Chains A and B, each alone.
Chain A
Amino acid sequence: MESSAYITLTDVVFSRSGRRIFDGVSLQIPRGKITAIMGPSGTGKTTLLKLIGGQLKPDSGEVMVAGQPVPKLNRKTLYRLREKMGMLFQSGALFTDLSVYENVAFPLREHTRLPEDMIRDIVLMKLEAVGLRGARDLMPAQLSGGMTRRVALARSIALDPELIMYDEPFTGQDPIAMGVLVKLIRDLNSSMGLTSVLVSHDVPESLSICHYACIVADGKVIGEGTPDQLREHPSERVQQFLNGQPDGPVPFHYPVAGAASDFGLTGGGA
């Protein structure tokens, strides 16, 4: 396990606009496996991906990707490292002024000097992999939400990366699109041997495809292990999250002073 970790986070502390988002997160993501990072909304799961991708720098702690300390890399090596990473954004983030074909060709054109017919072959191959070879001439505005994500997926694997990060891939998808994505993520992982990191709060889908999962809440990792280990996890908070109970250790109410003062029930004041 130790030797095969592709990404290692050690005691990462990160705060933004005065709010501490991560308070000593340590995490290992194994090579060639699907790892799900789950947690309630607003716990900074996307931030975690941005830390891995080097778009944000932690206040302290270490982020190692493929043996390289991401926050300490200079611009050039960081950009070189990013060519080995693919990231699927929540919105897909297709370039709206380019067609589907050009979107997938974009990283190839930017990073390689391949001849046009070779780019064409690769692009069509990647589009075939996500089942959208027929949609190559459409513009992003003409795609449905699920298709957008599939095109974005084709784009992020265009350069055959070692690591692919999925940011909330299932959010806002209909059941069929969700099923397609689950299948794609699993197939890509097994056929290309990608290291996959999946950030989500859709518990059943995530647990059904991941090899390994961890749950983040309140700036800490509160539980990790294989899906089966997690289902048997002793912590109440892990159980609350997995089963979706409205109240428990994670309170229903946002922290606030006593209700009495807000409703004007304290004696005599006004």
Chain B
Amino acid sequence: MTDKLAALGRQGIAVVASLGRSGRFLAGVLMGVPRPIKGFPLLVQQLYSVGVLSLAIVVVSGLFIGMVLALQGYTILSDFGSESAIGQMIALTLVRELGPVVTALLFAGRAGSALTAEIGLMKATEQLSSMEMMGVDPLRRVIAPRLWAGFIAMPVLAVIFTVVGIWGGMLVGVEWLGVFDGAYWGNMQSSVDFVDDVLNGLVKSVVFGFVCAWIAVYQGYDCLPTSAGISSATTKTVVYSSLAVLGLDFALTAVMFGDF
């Protein structure tokens, strides 16, 4: 019994210590003075591998989610004879919730895991260590561009996801199910507010992008430099990012949309 309690305590301490390490790590990355001239090409390179390479999965998922929303929404709304509200339903769902959240989950799976594995492998093959020995700070040279790239790419991906989803919804709703397209866009425009909905959704995706990128690079940097360590760090990245995104989504939604 006391053994179990002690183990629980040790585990708790380990969790807190890991949180502390990740905080110090983050501070180390962000405090490093950015060097615009040398840093910018690195950032562009990372934006390519983190953002552009995630574009395909984001676009395809967005299209299908928009189409499914239209189908499901049509079935439910036609019971009340208000099929024309389908545009409003699709747009609000995507802009407020699914856009940021699903993109973040896809991002964690596609880009986050790749970041973790890449950094973990660099650590295992002593590349980070050798960089340090050359007097180059790996936090600044390797980690910072990846963190910023995730931070920037995420909202861009989320906005693209949302737009593709709305377009997919229109394909099914208007072209296939025959909702009047004036009603599709008109209802949407009268119910979606730029500040309350679009910008709040954007804020969400910025927060998610930051958290996902942070978790991914930290797990890679902190992993055990063995093949088992890297694989468990990759898993942790996906699991922790997903949980963090869903939990934060609830918190942010409560703050943003909770009071009416």
Residues of A within 8 A of B (CB): 53, 55, 79-83, 85-87, 89-91, 93-96, 106-107, 109-111, 152, 155-156, 159
Contacts and interface: CB of A to CB of B under 8 A. Distances in A.
A195 to B, nearest CB: 15
A80 to B, nearest CB: 7
- Interface on chain B toward A: helix, strand, loop, or mixed SS? helix
Contact of A79 (B38, B121, B129, B135): B135
B130 A110 contact: no
Contact of A85 (B122, B129, B133): B133
A62 to B, nearest CB: 20
Interface in B110-152: 121-122, 125-127, 129-137, 141
A93 B135 contact: no
Residue from B122, B126, B130 whose CB has the most chain A CB atoms within 10 Å: B130
B134 A107 contact: yes
A82 B134 contact: yes
A82 B136 CA distance: 9
Contacts of A55: 129, 132-133
A-B CB proximity, top 4 nearest: A93-B130, A82-B135, A93-B126, A87-B133
Interface of B: 38, 121-122, 125-127, 129-137, 141
Contacts of B130: 87, 89, 93, 152
Given A82-B132, A95-B131, 14 more contacts: A55-B129, A79-B137, A81-B135, A83-B134, A90-B126, A93-B127, A94-B127, A96-B121, A96-B125, A106-B136, A107-B134, A107-B135, A110-B134, A110-B141
Contacts of A111: 134-136
30 contacts: A53-B133, A55-B132, A55-B133, A79-B136, A79-B137, A80-B135, A81-B135, A82-B132, A83-B134, A85-B133, A86-B133, A87-B130, A89-B126, A89-B130, A90-B126, A93-B126, A93-B127, A93-B130, A95-B127, A96-B122, A96-B127, A106-B134, A107-B134, A107-B136, A110-B135, A110-B141, A111-B134, A155-B134, A156-B134, A159-B134
A152 B137 CA distance: 18
Residue from B129, B132, B133 whose CB has the most chain A CB atoms within 10 Å: B133
A106 B132 CA distance: 13
Residue from A53, A86, A110 whose CB has the most chain B CB atoms within 10 Å: A110
A89 B122 CA distance: 13
B132 A93 contact: no
A82 B141 contact: no
Nearest to B49: A97
Nearest to A55: B132
Contacts of B125: 91, 93, 96
Nearest to A49: B133
B131 to A, nearest CB: 8
Contacts of B134: 82-83, 86, 106-107, 110-111, 155-156, 159
A192 B68 CA distance: 70
Nearest to A90: B126
A93 B135 CA distance: 15
A80 B136 CA distance: 10
A155 to B, nearest CB: 8
B129 A93 contact: yes
